[in-house]
Structure formats: structure tokens, C-alpha cells
A and B are shown apart, each in its own frame.
Chain A
């Protein structure tokens, strides 16, 4: 069974520092990996989607890498801002699952202090 782990569970950085969030998964047979942002009590906002054939995706200050063979993805957020404070979840779409339900990690709670 696919297991997704996110380290660290929580992270606090001063404004302006770069953020590095890690996601690991046990089974490399995936179709894609998606990073989400969740504000407290709110919905999931998709940040980046990386296909299994891709090595990275970029959107503005966000960059996500994928090393499928080692079962790892990293989300980089450059020049963090207080508005980046949220919980970040990664989720994989296992290739062994016919109907594509996502397997989530527990998330990394980020606090960016002014």
C-alpha cells in the first residue's frame, strides 16, 4: 500500500527565507504528484502538478521537483512571505489504482513570521 510521508510536520521561518518542504512515497509506481495548500478550516488549493515523466514544475515563487525512482518530491518556496503561512500537503496518484484516488501525506504546517 502506498504511504506518503511529509517532513517536517511543522516549520517556522522568518519572512524572506526560502522554504523547503519534503514529501516521500513508498511506491514509485505513480501517475503524478500534486502539491496543495490548505488554510485553516478551508479547502485544498492546487499549487503544482508533476507528471511521473517530469522532473520539476515551476509557478512563480514555487518550484517542485520529483525523483520518482527514489520516491521523493520537494517543494521550494522562494522568498517566503507571511501570506505563505498555511499547511502544505502532497498527494500521489498511484498507478496501481485504476480509479485514481489520491494518497495524501499528513502535511507540513508552515508559519512565516514578519
Chain B
């Protein structure tokens, strides 16, 4: 079965550079979520999209932005990178987003971002 695809798997950037992370949800999943997991931390919610519109926003820095495209893939853009942005970034998708959903999440394998 198709899973959530994230690219790249690993990314090394220097401080103040820009990074773009991509996520391809499971077909027919209309909701995408982005999470950040620092070393030894639990995943923290960043932002979500439902039907290509931003649906919710968590603790996402202003330096980060994201969007969901017509084919439902999503991109997380991170500018002016800081050392503290080094983390695992996960994308998850779920069908029939919004209130009352009975479905669980499927997570991608993540992108490991290292800022040096």
C-alpha cells in the first residue's frame, strides 16, 4: 500500500540558509499535518492543511511557511535557519479531515534536518 512519502530523507544546511521539505500524502487523504521532533522530544505540531487550505497552526516560527498544492502534496519552507531548527520533521496524512474524523494518522519516515 502507498505510504506518506517525504523528501529529502536527510538535509544539511548552514545557518541562515533556506530549506524546503516535501510531503506526498497517501492518495485520497485530504489532510496533511507537519510535526517537528527535536532530539529526545515528542513530536510538536507545526501546521496542517485540509483541502489545500491551512486549517490549523501550532508552534511554527514566522520564518517557516507551508502550503498544500493542487495535487495535495505539501511543502514546508524554512528560511533563516538556526541551529535550533535541527530536528526530525514529519509529515502525516489522514482522510476526511476536520471534526469527528474516525481515522488515524499515517506518518512519513521524516526528514532529518541538520543545521551547521
Contacts and interface: CB of A to CB of B under 8 A. Distances in A.
Interface of A: 31-32, 34, 36, 41-46, 49, 51, 89, 91, 93, 97-102, 104-107
B24 interface: no
Nearest to A50: B104
B107 A98 contact: no
Contacts of B94: 100
Among B42, B43, B56, B97, the one with the most A-chain Cβ atoms within 10 Å of its Cβ is B42
A43 B55 CA distance: 24
B79 interface: no
B55 A107 contact: no
> Which range contains the number of B residues in contact with the other chain?
20 to 34
Interface string B9-53: 000000000000000000000010100000001110100101000
8 contacts: A34-B104, A41-B112, A44-B43, A97-B56, A99-B48, A100-B31, A100-B97, A107-B42
A44 B90 contact: yes
A46 B58 contact: no
B107 A43 contact: yes
B42 A105 contact: yes
Nearest to B56: A99
Interface in B79-116: 88, 90, 92, 94, 97-110, 112
A98 B57 CA distance: 12
A45 B105 CA distance: 10
A49 B104 contact: yes
